[in-house]
Amino acid sequence: MLDYKTRELFETTFTRLRWLAIAMLGSLFIVAVVVEIIHWFVPFTGFAGDDSFSSPFVYVLLVTGLADLLFLPFFRRGFLAERPGATPANLISRMRVITILSLAVAQAPAILGIVIFLMLGVRWAFYVLWGGALVAMLAYFPRQMFWEEWVEGGGRMEV
């Protein structure tokens, strides 16, 4: 059980992380709306103009984005690994870093998708990466019960 001061630090940190996650999730939907607005109101073929490199470029960014999503669970597992002698305040600090980095890495495929769309006008690649980013962000959305157990357990928990 956490003492009062640590509980207050945990609650404050977790609330801020939850709002950050909601904002990042909202930004995913804003980007999708912008892509649709551009697609429906402007005949958009991308800023690159030259189709000679489009296919390899799209597939390189697609593979990069999907590799990012495959890398994320291993990344989190490494950061969540038990470290002896960690205080609750240190664990809460690690919780903050892990959550922010997980959300940022989860959102990276959507950013690669918007790059593909803006350069080449390819919507399907954007939505493939956007969908992967959405699933990852929902999977790693901060969950209070998980983090409470992790902090109270001294950083010992299997992900």
pLDDT in tens, 101-120: 999 999 999 999 999 998 88
Q: Cα–Cα distance between 10 and 150 in angstroms, integer?
A: 12
> For every one of its 159 residues, what pLDDT tens digit does the chain have, with 9 covering 90 and above?
678 898 899 999 999 999 999 999 999 999 999 999 998 888 787 777 666 556 788 889 999 999 999 999 998 888 888 778 888 889 899 999 999 999 999 999 999 999 999 888 888 999 999 999 999 999 999 999 989 888 888 877 654
Helices (H), 42-87: 54-80
pTM, full prediction: 0.86
The packing angle between helices 4-41 and 88-120, to 10°, is 0
CB atoms within 10 A of CB 41: 8
Q: Is the residue at 90 inside a domain?
A: yes
Q: Please indicate, yes or no, if residue 29 is contained in any of the structural domains.
A: yes
Domain presence at residue 157: no
Domain around 65 = 4-152
Number of domains in the chain: 1
Query: For residue 136, is it within any domain?
Result: yes
Domain assignment present for residue 138? The answer is yes
Burial of 43 (0-12, 13-18, 19+ CB in 10 A): exposed
DSSP 3: -
Domain assignment present for residue 106? The answer is yes
Q: Which residue blocks in 86-122 are alpha helix, DSSP H?
A: 88-120
The separation between CA 74 and the C-alpha centre of its own chain, rounded to angstroms, equals: 14
**Residue 50, SS3 per DSSP:** coil
Name which of 11, 21, 152, 8 is nearest 88 in CA terms: 152
In a domain, 159, yes or no: no
Domain-located, residue 67: yes
